[in-house]
Amino acid sequence: MSKRLVVIGDGMVGRRFLEAITERDPSWEVTVLAEEPRPAYDRVRLSAFFDGVSAEELSLAGELPGVDVRLGEPVVSIARTSQVVYTDSGEYPYDKLVLATGSYAFVPPMEGADAEGVFVYRTIEDLEAIKAHAEGKRHGVVIGGGLLGLEAANALGLLGLKTQIVEFAPWLMARQMDEAGGGILKQHIEKLGIDVATSTGGSKIEVVDDRLRMETNQEGVAYDTDLIIFAAGVRPRDQLARECGIEVGERGGIITDLSCQTSDENVYAIGEVAAMEGVCYGLVAPGYSMAEVVADRLAGGEATFPGADMSTKLKLLGVDVAQFGAMDGPLATTYLDPVEGVYAKLILSDDAQTLLGGMLVGNAEPYPLLRASVGAKAPGQLADLLSSGEVEGTLPDAAQVCSCNAVSKGEIMGAIHEGCQDVGAIKACTKAGTSCGSCIPMLKQLLTEGGVEVSKSVCEHFSQSRAELFDIVKVTGITTFSDLIARYGSGAGCDLCKPTVASILASLSNGHILDGEQATLQDTNDHFLANMQRNGTYSVVPRIPGGEITPDKLIVIGEVAKEFDLYTKITGGQRIDMFGARVEDLPKIWKKLVDAGFESGHAYGKALRTVKSCVGTDWCRYGVQDSVKMAIDLELRYRGLRSPHKLKSAVSGCARECAEARGKDFGVIATEDGWNLYVGGNGGFTPRHADLLVSDVDGDTLVRTIDRFLMFYVSTADRLQRTSKWVEALDGGIDYLREVIVDDKLGICAELDALMAKHVDNYADEWKGVIEDPEKLQRFVSFINAPEAPDPTIEFEEVRGQKFPAGASERSHATPVLLGTPSRLDSASLSSERE
């Protein structure tokens, strides 16, 4: 006699259960009743839908032998006595029933919440409706500043809408962050042009002149908008259980024991609908654990729920956020760098020896290792950890590496020893890394620990490293991303490989970066040849080689800043920044600057920024060489050189080092006999003095050596790898580098010379390329459907005699956040150059 199993719901957790039960005990006759019209899909990556990922790519559908999946057939009732599930089109007897109905989007009680243009953010159908409604619109409001709210805000940004986040709690992501972390996250979000209002809730929505107006609990504060998304949390879908008499919790959710069994011995509940001993878990990892428990029980086992790992990692618009383990404990060690926008907090045992949990904002590189280290030896200095992303010591085999699928280090190492030689094989064998993907960097490190040479592939779409793609483009002459991925990759590409290939094409002098298909590969800053600021405006930074500028040119900068009402600031790199430019004004500003002899300073690009100089022999009585002329020559030679990361340089006229050359990617210091060249320095988290490469060389030798250094770096470095890390990673370090580019050990110096000569010959100013091209000019508008209209949501105020983004006066006088006691505050390394 067959055993009849009915599963209600086909979400991520339901699908994991089906995979587990068909593997453990295929004797069950399984019927799945699903309300949605499509099979299970990856709801964790739902926002990728707005970034070009199709519904088919998000699908989790696969072969499930012996399983009858009925889509679009919602259950209307459950008869527990007769053990039958009813739908509008049939009835389904069961021996065991699994409720995997998930949750629904919570909409706070508010008048007008059902108005046209108001949405929730839960299903692909919701996203399709949002996308359709947003066409031609300008502004959107997201109610909710948690994980889901930030994803929704990111989605509206990708649709081109100016976005406002309204959060009832005092800070963003209040369930995962403390006040300091939430504050730093808010700074990041606002710098991206998204406004954030905390301690604020909506009270009423009404339609006014074909738009929506939302009143708030703040007196006199209302938002006029085109679209509103509720992303204020979820509630368990426990209605079926309530109606048939199964016990539910006071705050919702189906009560279960540690075996996931409900008050009815023949009914189990898993995922977001389950209140495990009264607690509902809103993340996929605990749901997967429940799915495995029930599958084991139905196969005759005695598994129980092992506990929930509530770790989360989020990256939206380039902002890294992570939380793992405990949020509070006996002792905390904290790190704050307000300039770089980085905050980290580790929760430790009272003897400071054991890591209990923590949070990261602005730099989540150490997250995989830290999460896996919970319960093990606490790491050392946070500043060093954030810089290296490495935790001291070896993780114990019991450490959980993949919380989504409850995979330990021991299981992964076992798979490696049994023949899994790459990340893909580990994923297939253990399921680690198949859900949110945040543990994949850790998988690569464990492969290395297991003696396997790890691939340096750029992403899942290209098996090649950045250096290999560089060589392919150089040798084949490929000029487009589509041609490269068609011939050497797979799929449609992603936000890792697209800008990487764009940089390679630009490095090899492949025309203007906004020509044709190239324009679609650029990030926001490169797309508009300017850095986006916190209120949606842009900065304009003309090149001032060596910091030398004539009075006439200074006057032009002043006139332009005055005409377009721009905030001006002299930077640490001897340039003048102009902030607050509206996107439609950028070409007009550039035209005036270009006509006066200026060009783009590439402050927005992964390229050479500045070559700083002292006054050298021209004015200083200590100068021994003409540092100003050398700095100008170098900056004009390398301007526009696209590279894996930004580049900074300096030239000092004597050993007093007034230009701070040893803190740069390449720095030059004058000597009585010539020039010393230092490479691989930087500021930032862990300031690093550059290494001496050559000494007392003449000018021609100096330039030739820098040429080769830069082209060797551009040709071989990994994506976003600074010169400091690149030099350290070379097998043999600075000595090997000297052998390659000075002694020509590899016989490639002639090729490096030719690459630099090609760059110098093909240089063209990117600003000028836009103002001379009517097609490119069409990109520089706030609204495609209203090209002449400025963005009405951009607001300014006056502070210290200049204009600032609205709210600057409050931020300028804000009291610094105290990071709690007891704590150990690591000294933050603050970079003075932020160009």
Q: Which residues sit in the known binding site?
A: 614, 620, 654, 658
Q: Which one-letter amino acid corresponds to residue 462?
A: F
- Cα 32 to Cα 39, 70, 94, 731: the distances in Å are 10, 6, 11, 56
Report the alpha-carbon distance of residue 516 to residue 434 in Å, rounded: 35
Numbered residues of the known binding site for [4Fe-4S] cluster: 614, 620, 654, 658
Report the alpha-carbon distance of residue 218 to residue 691 in Å, rounded: 56
* SS3 at position 759: helix
Q: Write out the two tokens for 275.
A: 């209140």
Report the alpha-carbon distance of residue 680 to residue 677 in Å, rounded: 10
* SS3 at position 64: coil
Q: Are strands 267-269 and 139-143 parallel, antiparallel or unpaired?
A: unpaired
Q: Respond yes or no on whether the N-terminal peptide bond of residue 822 is cis (omega within 30° of 0).
A: yes
* SS3 at position 603: coil
Residues 439, 433 contacting (CB under 8 angstroms): yes
Q: Is 482 exposed, middle or buried (0-12, 13-18, 19+ CB in 10 A)?
A: middle
> What does the DSSP assignment read for 187-213?
HHHHHTT-EEE-S--EEEEEEETTEEE
Any residues with CB less than 8 A from the CB of 56 and at least 6 apart, and which? none
State the residue for tokens 């108001």: 118
* SS3 at position 294: helix
Any residues with CB less than 8 A from the CB of 245 and at least 6 apart, and which? 80
Q: Which one-letter amino acid corresponds to residue 58?
A: L
Residues 627, 651 contacting (CB under 8 angstroms): yes
Separation of CA 258 from chain center: 36
Closest by CA to 327, choosing from 368, 357, 283, 361, is 357
Q: Are strands 331-337 and 823-825 parallel, antiparallel or unpaired?
A: parallel
In the chain the first and final C-alpha atoms are separated, in Å, by 73
- Cα 79 to Cα 84, 275, 532: the distances in Å are 5, 22, 59
Residues 321, 361 contacting (CB under 8 angstroms): yes
The angle that helices 284-298 and 12-24 make with each other, rounded to 10 degrees, is 30
Tell me the backbone φ, ψ of residue 294, rounded to 5 degrees: -65, -40
Numbered residues of the known binding site for siroheme: 658
